Amino acid sequence: MAAEQRYRVVDRLEAGGMAEVFRGEALSVQGFKKQVAIKRVLPHLAQNKSFISMFLDEARLGARLSHANIVTVFDIGAADNTYFIVMEFIDGCNLKAIIEHFRQMGRRIGVKESVYICMETCRGLSYAHELADDEGDEIGIVHRDISPPNILLSKRGEIKVTDFGLAKATTQLEKTDPGVVKGKFSYLAPEAAKGEDVDARADIFALGIVLWEMLAGRRLFLGETDYQTVKLVQQADVPSLSRINPEVDEELEAVLQKALAVDPRNRFESAREFGDALASFLFGKQLKVTSYDIANIVKEVVQRKSATKKTTAQEASIIDRLIQEELLRFTSLDDMSSGSDPLNVGDAPLSPDDVAGAMPLDAALFENPADWFANDDEVMGAVTEAASSGETSSSEPGWRESGVEAGADLASLLEDSGEMRMHEPLPPPREPTPEPPPPQVPAGSSLPVVDAVSAEPPAKKSGGAMIWVVLVAVLLLAGGAAAYFGGFIQF
């Protein structure tokens, strides 16, 4: 019976050094299909305990987050030697593609559209930062990787935060080691770049960088090397935005300066407060902006991106087909063995045995034909007797390749056994019947000559064949006699 396929890959959306994202379909009964995004860990990282712990933390946190401005996680699973997260599919593009599109066109994103995008992002971050457990205590989620690629925009103007892969929460399995810097260097908060503890205000700083770059049309902290970039973040020297973009007034620049304060104590206390300040700016300036305005931008970017793609369809690559086969063996973590950590993540290093379907072949699981008659005393006795009498080329019974040893097959051994013999010995072969002498034909007779080769009987003739030979001889003699006497009477 064929395996039930739960997800099917349609095409690849993004690929990075740690994971890749595909657009797929969730298959259900009655032909029901739903578009989903499938995030797959690259195989070379599947055995990395720390990375898999972080990846599963992302999935668990994403599964708990349910908000209009956060990408929903539907399923978490494993197949063969890798892991998958099945998420909500956002039909559109990310903020990085929009910024790049405007840069190539020699334009900047409008002020009101930029402020609106960040205001909606604050709504999603505020929900995640303030999320509480069943006892009412805040979990303390910090995204830690707010950047343009992780802010998605749909064709209907929706704005959603994705990829909580670096998020840190009090319930996280894999704790962040002190002094370890995580996140994209250009969007780190100064305290994160110094290896200090971070909280929700680090996400506010990162979102402030995103807003600054949208309005300025260029990067804020970007050195020639990663080291130089980190040093720029630590110094947090932010140029005046009004000098770069005349559309930015003092009120908006004051909001940005507070979000980008070097000291966390001087920033907005929460994403809710930051988002409220952005909303106040829009209302105060009577700037009308809705999701329809964002949808128009997204459609423009998507159409231009589609035009640059090849118009001819290409066959799926070998990697895509392999991923499709992996999804055939997709197993949700909820369907695996019971326990708080079904994959033993956090307790011991991962191995291929931790995932269903990745177990290597075990020779002990195969049957040995030499053991099929191990419990049959009669058969094994015959085998031993044949071996001791020298009838086989090997002194011990075992596996025999066909045609290798004459007389060593099981049938011959059974025939040699006195107790297992089913037939009596055959009688000795019969002596060949002597051939009759050739007929004597008188000289001058008109008897037809028979070819010696065709008249000669085979080496072994049956009784019926011998009778035919005698009859032919008699007829030949009679014909010769008649010819002889006929000639005598004529004279």
CATH of the domain at 104: 1.10.510.10
> Are 301 and 393 in the same domain?
no
Q: Indicate if 341 belongs to the active site.
A: no
**Residue owning tokens 């947090």:** 236
**Residue 279: pLDDT band with limits 50, 70, 90:** very high
Q: Which residue has the higher pLDDT, 248 or 174?
A: 248
Q: What's the distance, Cα to Cα, between the start and end of the chain in Å?
A: 99
Pairwise pLDDT comparison (395 vs 62), residue with the higher score:
62
Residue 242 in this model has a pLDDT that exceeds 80: yes
**Burial (0-12, 13-18, 19+ Cβ within 10 Å), 27:** middle
Task: Identify the domain boundary among 314, 329, 344.
Answer: 314
The mean pLDDT of 446-473, rounded to a whole number, is: 55
The pair of three-digit structure tokens given for residue 463, joined into one six-digit string? 């009784």
- Other residues' Cβ atoms within 10 Å of the Cβ of residue 51: 20
Closest of 324, 336, 333 to residue 57, by C-alpha: 333
> Quick one: pLDDT band at residue 431, thresholds 50, 70, 90?
low
Over residues 378-403, the mean pLDDT reads 52
How does pLDDT run across 280-318, given as a tens digit for each residue?
Answer: 999 999 999 999 999 999 999 998 877 666 543 444 455
Helix and strand counts by DSSP (H, E) for the chain: 14, 9
pLDDT tens digits, residue range 64-95?
889 999 999 888 887 767 788 899 999 999 99
Residue 194 lies in a domain: yes
Residue % of the chain over a pLDDT of 90: 35
For residue 113, the model assigns a pLDDT of 97
Structure tokens at 192: 């994160």
Residue 43 lies in a domain: no
Q: Which two tokens stand for residue 388?
A: 């001791």
Contacts (Cβ under 8 Å, ≥6 apart) of 233: 185, 186, 188, 189, 190, 193, 221
Residue found under tokens 């780190």: 188
Q: Over range 380-405, report the average pLDDT.
A: 51
The structural domain count of the chain equals: 3
Residues 106 and 227 in one domain: yes
| Residue 251: band (very low, low, confident or very high) from pLDDT cuts 50, 70, 90 | very high
Determine the average pLDDT of the residues in 438-463: 48
Question: What value does the mean pLDDT take over residues 22-36?
Answer: 83
Q: Is residue 397 part of a domain?
A: yes
pLDDT of residue 341: 45
Q: 109 and 159, same structural domain?
A: yes
Q: How many CB atoms lie within 10 A of CB 330?
A: 22
Which tokens is 24 given?
């797929």
Residue type, 342: P
Q: What are the C-alpha distances in Å from 203 to residues 138, 173, 213, 251, 259?
A: 17, 21, 15, 22, 10
Number of Cβ within 10 Å of residue 340's Cβ equals 7
Amino acid, single-letter form, for residue 129: H
105: pLDDT strictly greater than 80: yes
352-388: per-residue pLDDT in tens? 344 333 334 344 444 444 555 555 666 566 656 655 5
Question: Tokens for 6?
Answer: 């739960």
Q: Are residues 408 and 465 both part of a single domain?
A: no
More confident residue, 449 or 388: 388
DSSP 194: T
Query: Is there a single domain that holds both residue 395 and residue 478?
Result: no
Judgement on whether residues 307 and 386 belong to the same structural domain of the protein? no
For residues 108 and 111, what is the distance between their CA atoms, to the nearest angstrom? 9
Instruction: Show the domain range for 486.
Output: 452-490
Catalytic residue among 57, 145, 203, 354: 145
Residue at which a domain ends, from 314, 348, 375? 314
Q: Which pLDDT score, from 0 to 100, does residue 68 have? A: 94
